[in-house]
Structure 1
Amino acid sequence: MNLSAPFIARPVATLLLSLAIILLGAVSFGLLSVAPLPKMDFPAIVVDANLPGASPQIMASSVATPLERSLGSIAGISEMTSRSSQGNTRIIILFDIGRDVDAAAREVQAAINASRNLLPSGMRSMPTYRKFNPSQAPIMVLSLTSDVLGKSQLYDVAATVLAQKLSQVSGVGEVQIGGSSLPAVRVALEPRLLDQYGIALDEVRNAIVQASVDRPKGALEDDQRHWQIQANDQLDKAADYRPLVIRYQNNAPVRLGDVAQVVDGVEDRYNSGFYNDNDSVLMVINRQPGANIIETIEDIRAELPGLQAVIPPSVHLEVAMDRSPVIRATLHEAERTLLIAVGLVILVVFAFLGRWRAALIPALAVPVSLVGTFAVMYLLDFSLNNLSLMALIIATGLVVDDAIVVLENISRHIEAGEKPLAAAYKGSKEVGFTLLSMNLSLVAVFLSILFMGGIVGNLFREFSITLTAAIVVSLLVSLTLTPMLCARWLRAEGGERTPGRVQRVGARVQERVVAAYSRSLDWALRHSRLTLFSLLLTIGFNVYLFVEVPKTFMPQQDTGQLLGFIRGDDGLSFQVMQPKMEIYRRALLKDPAIHSVAGFIGGSGGINNATLVIRLKPIDERRASSQEVIDRLRETMPKVPGGRLMLMSDQDLQFGGRQGRSTENEFVLLASELSDLRTWLPKVRDALAALPELTDIDANEGEGAQQISLEIDRVTAQRLGVDMAMVTSVLNNAFSQRQISTIYDTLNQYSVVMEINPKYAQYPEALDQIQLITESGGRVPLSAFARWTRSLEEDRVNHQGQFAAESIGYALAKDVTQEQANRAIARAVAEVNLPTEVQGVLGGTGGQFEKEAQGQPLMILTALLVVYIVLGILYESYIHPLTILSTLPSAGVGALLAILITGGEFSLVSLLGLFLLIGVVKKNAILMIDLALELERDLRLTPQESIRRACLLRFRPIMMTTLAAMLGALPLLLGQAEGAEMRQPLGLAIVGGLVLSQLLTLYTTPVVYLYLDRLRHRINRWRGVRSDAALETPL
């Protein structure tokens, strides 16, 4: 049966079918979203709970623990971590990839409701939750600066106006604001004046609360009219609060302004931000899942002039960070690489066939196959990203193989004297089963990736399906368009014009190469045992190289952006941390590779931690990768006492949900008791700090912060008329920036914040000045029934998997792989000899590498088994698939050897290269074996005669397809522009594997074929099955 015959006979229908494929693909291309990597939504939910004034220990025991117990019963949780700090607990729940996050959210809400009775009664509201994606990086950061307005006013502009309008832009997700806080009326009480008047802090608080209520007041109405009742029952600014009467004393009013400084300030004074040399409020913009990053950013930029028009003229709105230039440059480079690959493949065809007419046929077949793939990508909601474009680049060398096999076979018949039309019918029929075998076995390799769970299966899903789609479309084109064009375009022998010089030279070179191959093939067949031994040697060499090759998780991306984290020593004040951040800011801006620096200190990160977003210049200007910039900065950055700067390259794909991480990697200690962690954490930290493989050890976790501990004599307090509620209320009023009232505005809500004057709260001795007013009106100093001591206590309590946890962050030293670092950590921790009640686990990228590395050999074996099954079904044989698979060891050796020689690292992208080699290299064996079996069956040749003739007849298409695949991957290997770090490992593995396999399989495949054929006959004789003795050839 000739599947191509109807299409050869109907050229118009065939051309229109191809045109329809191109039109569908072209329209779909314009609709595809753009992203740096495939959509990788890690199902995750964050739960927040607040209990103002509660210590981290109280939050951990009374809030985090009951919530974790309830949430831990939900199925499909892969990791649950929590951090409890002053008055706040945040729990991050990571679910198994593929879990429906909406269904998980419903279960989380049910778990929160179930824990209601276990939570403290003093909680003002129930815990809340929201869905988020821990692997998603912000797409843009905007900076607001002004020479006129203060930062709280800038924050108000950002929160009230800009955030609302930006959220309405298509594709924009969460908008976070940092660098300051909302405006507020701040009441700074004077303790001595309060003592003079005998006024308690709660009395001031109650007076402020009752003075501004803004509640419904009803309406009046008669038969004809309706009046809404309004009153000046709300105070709006500091000037309105100063005259507020606290009490009357000696018939004279005591006003708020008499006992406090009342000013218009900020809600949280422990918050600051900057952009380059200016104080700034920063707006961090995230995208919605699946949104087109390029289009979203373009839409935001289009809105910027309108946004600038609706905010005060003195506010300058700038783009501090924009991910689109690097993404756009990376994708443009990938598209350019794709065009180069197409051009090189066409040159291969021309070089072998020497005729432009012949070269134009694959030149049309390749674009039809690739463009048609875009339609499949659109239907499956895929994006144009680094991996899908890499799939299309690789597909260039694969889809042309089908056209080459058909074209070369038809050309061979024409060269033998047949008419083009007859040659097209005959040639396409001969290779129909060959094409089917090649492509189905190739598809089997890539589809096996879909059944792999975890990161590999999800990350490479788009890659494998895109490549599969290209192969299927290519098969369709090779059975329809290619033979039809051959029948119409190619000329009969003698009908062509006189061969040109290039064609004559090419023909002579091919004749000499084929003659040399014929002689070397005869030698290999005569020395078959030596040839077979070389194959067995490559199998063992594969195992050795796989063990020895340096391994990492993913190539380090150069996104044009660095993240910096400044860790201050525990107990440092906000005022002390700001100058340290300023030193680093100035030093960073002096580096020639850095374009801008934005950052903020305080807020949810803590008063002694700062986060920096460092934007690099384009790669052609800085002439150094982001990792090289980091290595240089580590050497040139000033050493600032009490504050350490840690740098990491911002990655499109991040792992783990732990909060406050300053590095990609971490080592986590777990224990049931906090005391065990405090004992063993310093020992493990010191052991890791001594390792030369690690740098940027984040040793801040778990050391504890300075704390003032009050020891209250309850008996004395009770005798003096003081209870614990009075004590905690007075302390909360005095020292916690307590938000005691709300000012309602038409666009936003603002707070009234009360505390004692900060100048009286700088030292522990300030506690001695606190006076409590009893119900009888007596004044009792705090020192009368309590004494304070300095201590070191945890300023945060972490849990992981419901155990107490502390993490040690670290980065890899220069030229150290992930595998080397993990091994060094394992040795160091083993020497520490942790007790059984304390466990250590790798987290972040290091932990993910361990999980994936263990399954890599099984993934490869699974792919081989799937290919064997498919080939066994196609050939109805147990033996012939083994012959085809015998081509793979040499490809593996070539790929791994290329990585070792070039000093590269074996990553997930390299693993993808091995999968591709499994699919590509076996094509050579299929081309040989199909023809050999046909010659045995039709011409009654012996196995040795048939395989020898098949090798020589298929030598030209084998060389063409291999070179096409190799040159298709070569631009990946040689590219140096944006995104090259992701493409090079794939190109290196493919080119290295193809070079060595091409040299060996041309000789090992026929020898294995003969050995296995002899084995088949022996098995048949043992089973009593008759075989044709005339076809047996002893070795």
Structure 2
Amino acid sequence: MNFTKLTLNNNRVTLIAILVVALLGAINYFQLERDSMPPYTVRVASVVSSYPGADPLTVEALVTEPLEEVIREMSEIKTIVSESREGLSVIIVELKVEVDQDQLSAVWTRLRNKVADLKPALPQGLYGPVVKDEDVGSVFGIILGVVGDGVPYKVLEDYAAEVRDDLLLLPDAAKIKLGGVQAERIFVEYDDKQLARYGLDAGKLRNIISATNVLFPAGEINLGRQRIALEPSGRFQSVDDLAKILIPITSGTTVYLEDITTRIYSDYVSPREKMVKINGKPAIALFISLKDGANIVRLGEEVDAALRLLNSQMPLGVEVVRSASQDQVVDGQINDFLINLLQSMVIVLVVMFIFLGFRTGSLVAALVPMVIIVSFFFLGLLDLGFNKVSLAALIISLGLLVDNGIVVSESILINKNKGMSTFEASVYAGKILFIPLLISSLTTSAAFLPFALAGTPMGEISSQLFWVVSSTLLGSWILAFTLIPLLALWIVKSEKPGKVKKERLMDRYMDKANLWYNGVLVRVLMRPFLFLGFISTLFILAVFLVKFLPFKLVPDSDRNLVTVDIKFPSGTQIEHTVKAVDEIGDFILNRLLVHPVDAKDQPGVLDFSSFIGEGPEPYDLGYFKNEVNSGYAHMLLNTTGDVDNDFIIAQVDSFCFNHIPDADIRVNRLTGAGASGTPVEIRISGNDPEKLALLSGQVKTHLTGIKGARNIGDDWGPKMKKLKVDIDPQKARRAGLTNMEIAQALNTGFSGMKVGDFYEADQQIPILLKSGNSDAQDMATVRAFNIFSAAADRSVPLAEVADVHVDWQFSKIIRQDLKRTMTVEAYLESGYTASDIFKSIAPWMEAQQETWGNGYSYEFGGEDEDRNENLGAIFSNLPLAFFIIVILLVLQFNSMRKATIIVLSIPLGMIGVVAGWYIGGSFVSFFGILGVIALAGIVINNAIILIDRIDVEMAENPAIDPRDAFVQAANNRFRPIVLTTLTTSMGMLPLWFSGDLLWEPLTLAIIFGLFFATLITLLFVPVLYRLFFRISFRDYQMKTNE
């Protein structure tokens, strides 16, 4: 049954079905999720263990290595990267891309079981290991700050908690975390000499406090028909309860704890572990994440409404402000893309009316908006949303979808002019074009299939192109045989007998172009090998030139945001980090801060936030949170615009270089989604840390001489100073002390020892026993520190039993896949790419490795690794896509020769692509390669239509010279193919002119590649057809001249 005939005979049902789907699409438009980029699966978890007091080498040997050995037994593991530092082990576990989203929970559960089984074999005193996989991949796109200059931190925390509770009621808010909250403690401060007078020491005091403050089950009893739990008292209800503990002393009496200690008080940990500042003022941050399937723009509107109410209730001096606003970024990007989409639709419609006239143009013009609206229905059906990729896919589809409409409309009008009725012409078009257009749509979709099958981050991000393009082409194919025939019955009227049809101006120009093409085609068909040689030469030249183009996997984010990462050596006092942050903040306030009113005229910073000791929660796909470190800070600078980012980076970078030379400070844009954090990474692996430091130093020195590299450093950082306490066992025994007693006494005296917990509402506050002399910490204080010996009944100075001296150690030890690895890192100057750096240093690295000796090797990471991984996943699926395309072509034509002709035409589009990249001053990128593959789909589509027309023309006109039928078929397809080229390439212009570097290589590939691909289809395909089917044109020119 002819599909078109069926729909025309049931036109009312057809029209209602189309309108219902369109209505659902229109509804979906307002409900679809909006985001900057599509989400992707993050297959990463961390295993964190705390081993207080252990140096990095000890942590590595006793904690990290045993855990790594157990983790590597899991077959799903891709890479294991560990960091061992003072008292802490962090192991980052990444899974293979073959692990699906729904398998992650089971894999992480197995990982937890494995590390739990190892726990008994790990050293005593270890906290953990803990597997952290929650919130991995989550984005807290909106960051707020409760700011109060001169307001106590406790007050800010209370207000922030109230704000969090109110915002959690918002419909689209998922989680809200607080940042900059200080750790509260209850301190029991003592004096060693005073305790000694009562026959006490810190150890005895700890035991008494711990035994008094109990929270322990006392069993259950049967009371009547019920079983009742027994709950003994003993837990501290207030700080006064702690102060009133009775302590037995040597005289046989008891005294209150407060009588024998210096003071008992509640305060924050000093020095502070982390803090937040907004525009240089103290703040508490609130990180807000979005519910699954919700709309980030709508969440932003909800937050704004809530803030207006909350700020009206805040006291003077306290304010809730925005720090990062992904919702505003997404809203702007989506609106810009929708405008680009609308502009593209207008351009396509204008081209249609100019070249096809009102009647045919109206048929195709109706198809375009209807397919776009229907595509919104498919977006909802496939659980996709509005983002830069899905909207770009719609723009790409615009030029493709009109091809179906053009071919069907022209077929109806041509057969109408041959004497058929509009109904008969429509049914005939459905009969001869239904399968060819389906095959052409499927082959175009198959070209995008490798992106849908790649499991890498970039593959998942770009997979929406496959789904959107496929659904749009499917909608276009269905509507071409339903909506267009229906409209043709209403619009295309029969001409009155004897009426002379007026020739349109554009038709005259197209006729002249067609005549020119006819002459060129005949000449090429007469000299096929000369033409093939010319095309082959251009193709070889293009392949040769492409390697000189810069490569950048994904451009940096175009968000109006600059980040400043400040890294001091591990162990740096947080006060020193705060001082550096304040210096940068003062520079911004005095030199770069711009009022929003002046933002259009003056480049600068609108506001800035500082996260000290701990980075913020992930606020963008291009940012990854760091572990707590007193020597680390992360700053967010909201700038006046993306175009001003380079100016801001240069200004801040120069200031930091000249004024804060002892820190590793990196000022950058956010990286693009799916890319690694550092563009240039050179990983050097080996066993000896000292040699690794030497080799990485040589690499860093060489990198400084390479143009384009900046902010060069390594991930281990400089060595850190520590005080080594070498205990003399014999002296310690004579003094009646053990190594454990000495270590505990030092910990209690200088850091404080936990002796219990105090519970207040929903808070659990540790109780610390601490020496009153702990604030005066220097070498003399340490050596003179008194340790009470119960056996000798006296206080023993530390210098009497141990030697205290300065030692140096690596602040951290990093391992990659069980090998010690030091990574040299570098960022890029404006105008340079990572591939430029890798190309420059690769020969030198190869020569240097020969001198390193056995056991030492290097590999490139960063963008080079990302490129190999992401493109490798795409290219590995190309054979499947190629196989599907060949099968479809063979099914369509039942001929391997015709399928071969089409396949051979695919790669030649590279000639125009490379020319476009050079003309546009662009670069090769992941999405640029995607553009090449999209171009291949268009080339296939055009070639199918042309070859199918040649077959039809020869079959329907057996009486005429086959060569005439051959040329006539090419002429008949000249206009549709040219129009497809114009609509597709011109429809891409708004996306190119938008200035988004993410899409520039793709748009140039399609625009310029398509112009050359048109020549391929119109000349190269006929030449191959002529050769493969041995159609001689030796004397054809003489016949046409007669």
TM-score with structure 2 setting the length:
0.89
SS of alignment partner, residue 367 of structure 2:
helix
Aligned CA distance change for structure 1 residues 726 and 1007 (closer, same or farther; 3 Å): same
1:595 and 2:631 matched: no
| 1:901 aligned residue (908, 919, 934) | 919
Q: Which residue of 2 aligns with 1:808?
A: 824
Q: Distance in 1 between matches of 2:499 and 2:334?
A: 43
Q: Which residue of 1 aligns with 2:663?
A: 643
- What one-letter code is carried by the residue in structure 1 that aligns with 2:482? T
1:948-987 mapped onto 2 (5 Å cutoff): 948-976=967-995, 980-987=996-1003
Q: Distance in 1 between matches of 2:604 and 2:966?
A: 60
Q: Distance in 1 between matches of 2:130 and 2:173?
A: 22
Q: Which residue of 1 aligns with 2:27?
A: 27
SS of alignment partner, residue 384 of structure 1:
coil
SS of alignment partner, residue 97 of structure 1:
coil
- What one-letter code is carried by the residue in structure 2 that aligns with 1:874? Q
1:846-995 mapped onto 2 (5 Å cutoff): 846-853=864-871, 863-940=881-958, 941-976=960-995, 980-995=996-1011
Q: Is the 8 A contact 2:237 2:759 kept in 1?
A: no
1:605 and 2:628 matched: yes
How far did residue 839 of structure 1 move? 2.9
1:617 and 2:617 matched: no
Q: Is the 8 A contact 1:267 1:751 kept in 2?
A: no
Q: Is the 8 A contact 2:750 2:775 kept in 1?
A: no
Q: Distance in 2 between matches of 1:10 and 1:194?
A: 100
Q: Which residue of 2 aligns with 1:391?
A: 393
1:788 and 2:804 matched: yes
1:226-305 mapped onto 2 (5 Å cutoff): 234=236, 236-237=238-239, 248=249, 256=258, 259-267=261-269, 269-287=272-290, 291-304=294-307
Q: Is the 8 A contact 2:679 2:834 kept in 1?
A: no
1:462-477 mapped onto 2 (5 Å cutoff): 462-477=464-479
Q: Is the 8 A contact 1:186 1:754 kept in 2?
A: yes
Q: Which residue of 1 aligns with 2:342?
A: 339
How far did residue 387 of structure 1 move? 0.7
Q: Which residue of 1 aligns with 2:147?
A: 145
| 2:760 aligned residue (745, 755, 766) | 745
1:370 and 2:366 matched: no
Q: Which residue of 2 aligns with 1:182?
A: 183
Q: Distance in 1 between matches of 2:953 and 2:901?
A: 17
How far did residue 331 of structure 1 move? 0.8
Q: What RMSD in Å do the two structures reach over aligned CA positions?
A: 3.5
User: How many residues matched?
Assistant: 1002
SS of alignment partner, residue 1004 of structure 1:
helix
Q: Is the 8 A contact 1:687 1:832 kept in 2?
A: no
Q: Distance in 2 between matches of 1:332 and 1:150?
A: 42
Could you list the per-position Cα deviations for residues 448-503 of structure 1 after superposition, in whole angstroms to 9, with x for gaps in the alignment?
43333434432222211111011111111111111221132112334899988xx7
- What one-letter code is carried by the residue in structure 2 that aligns with 1:843? G
SS of alignment partner, residue 354 of structure 1:
helix
Aligned CA distance change for structure 1 residues 484 and 987 (closer, same or farther; 3 Å): same
Q: Which residue of 2 aligns with 1:551?
A: 551
| 2:1012 aligned residue (987, 996, 1016) | 996
Q: Distance in 2 between matches of 1:136 and 1:822?
A: 32
Q: Which residue of 2 aligns with 1:420?
A: 422
Q: Is the 8 A contact 1:156 1:182 kept in 2?
A: no
Q: Is the 8 A contact 2:441 2:474 kept in 1?
A: yes
Q: Is the 8 A contact 1:137 1:652 kept in 2?
A: no
Q: Distance in 2 between matches of 1:242 and 1:690?
A: 65
Q: Distance in 2 between matches of 1:173 and 1:498?
A: 69
Aligned CA distance change for structure 1 residues 320 and 193 (closer, same or farther; 3 Å): farther
| 1:762 aligned residue (755, 774, 777) | 777
> More deviation in 760-769 or 789-798?
760-769
SS of alignment partner, residue 653 of structure 1:
coil
Identity %: 22
Q: Which residue of 2 aligns with 1:202?
A: 203
1:119 and 2:119 matched: no
Aligned CA distance change for structure 1 residues 713 and 665 (closer, same or farther; 3 Å): same
Q: Is the 8 A contact 2:404 2:477 kept in 1?
A: yes
> More deviation in 214-223 or 810-819?
214-223
Q: Which residue of 2 aligns with 1:410?
A: 412
How far did residue 420 of structure 1 move? 2.7
Q: Is the 8 A contact 1:768 1:781 kept in 2?
A: yes
Q: Distance in 1 between matches of 2:813 and 2:498?
A: 83
- What one-letter code is carried by the residue in structure 2 that aligns with 1:101? L
Q: Distance in 1 between matches of 2:289 and 2:47?
A: 19
1:47 and 2:66 matched: no
Q: Is the 8 A contact 1:551 1:906 kept in 2?
A: yes
Aligned CA distance change for structure 1 residues 655 and 982 (closer, same or farther; 3 Å): closer
| 2:718 aligned residue (680, 684, 703) | 703
- What one-letter code is carried by the residue in structure 2 that aligns with 1:396? L
Runs (5+) with no aligned partner, structure 2: 593-602, 615-626, 1034-1039
Q: Is the 8 A contact 1:879 1:1016 kept in 2?
A: no
Q: Distance in 2 between matches of 1:616 and 1:708?
A: 44
Q: Is the 8 A contact 2:679 2:828 kept in 1?
A: no
Q: Is the 8 A contact 1:737 1:754 kept in 2?
A: yes
SS of alignment partner, residue 555 of structure 1:
coil
- What one-letter code is carried by the residue in structure 1 that aligns with 2:898? H
1:434 and 2:436 matched: yes
> More deviation in 47-56 or 722-731?
47-56
- What one-letter code is carried by the residue in structure 2 that aligns with 1:120? P
Q: Which residue of 1 aligns with 2:843?
A: 827
Q: Distance in 2 between matches of 1:753 and 1:794?
A: 30
Aligned CA distance change for structure 1 residues 401 and 704 (closer, same or farther; 3 Å): same
How far did residue 84 of structure 1 move? 2.6
Q: Distance in 2 between matches of 1:352 and 1:483?
A: 20
Q: Distance in 2 between matches of 1:846 and 1:605?
A: 29
Q: Distance in 2 between matches of 1:210 and 1:937?
A: 100
SS of alignment partner, residue 52 of structure 2:
coil
Q: Is the 8 A contact 1:353 1:359 kept in 2?
A: yes
How far did residue 836 of structure 1 move? 3.3
Q: Distance in 2 between matches of 1:65 and 1:497?
A: 91
Q: Which residue of 2 aligns with 1:1025?
A: none
1:9 and 2:29 matched: no
> More deviation in 576-585 or 723-732?
576-585
Could you list the per-position Cα deviations for residues 172-208 of structure 1 after superposition, in whole angstroms to 9, with x for gaps in the alignment?
5554433341332344555666677775333444455
Aligned CA distance change for structure 1 residues 755 and 133 (closer, same or farther; 3 Å): same
Q: Which residue of 2 aligns with 1:1012?
A: 1028
Q: Is the 8 A contact 2:556 2:670 kept in 1?
A: no
- What one-letter code is carried by the residue in structure 2 that aligns with 1:115? L
Q: Is the 8 A contact 1:631 1:814 kept in 2?
A: no
SS of alignment partner, residue 482 of structure 2:
helix
> More deviation in 956-965 or 287-296?
287-296
Q: Which residue of 2 aligns with 1:1023?
A: none
Q: Distance in 2 between matches of 1:921 and 1:434?
A: 14
- What one-letter code is carried by the residue in structure 1 that aligns with 2:986? L
How far did residue 431 of structure 1 move? 2.7
Q: Distance in 1 between matches of 2:336 and 2:1023?
A: 43
SS of alignment partner, residue 37 of structure 2:
coil
Runs (5+) with no aligned partner, structure 1: 1018-1032
Q: Which residue of 2 aligns with 1:1028?
A: none
SS of alignment partner, residue 948 of structure 1:
helix
Aligned CA distance change for structure 1 residues 871 and 243 (closer, same or farther; 3 Å): same
SS of alignment partner, residue 605 of structure 1:
coil
Q: Is the 8 A contact 1:362 1:400 kept in 2?
A: yes
How far did residue 339 of structure 1 move? 1.1
SS of alignment partner, residue 545 of structure 1:
helix
Q: Distance in 2 between matches of 1:87 and 1:752?
A: 21
How far did residue 676 of structure 1 move? 4.1
1:817 and 2:828 matched: no
Aligned CA distance change for structure 1 residues 182 and 494 (closer, same or farther; 3 Å): farther
SS of alignment partner, residue 988 of structure 1:
helix
- What one-letter code is carried by the residue in structure 2 that aligns with 1:331? I
Q: Is the 8 A contact 2:715 2:823 kept in 1?
A: no
Q: Distance in 1 between matches of 2:1030 and 2:972?
A: 23
Q: Distance in 2 between matches of 1:671 and 1:704?
A: 18
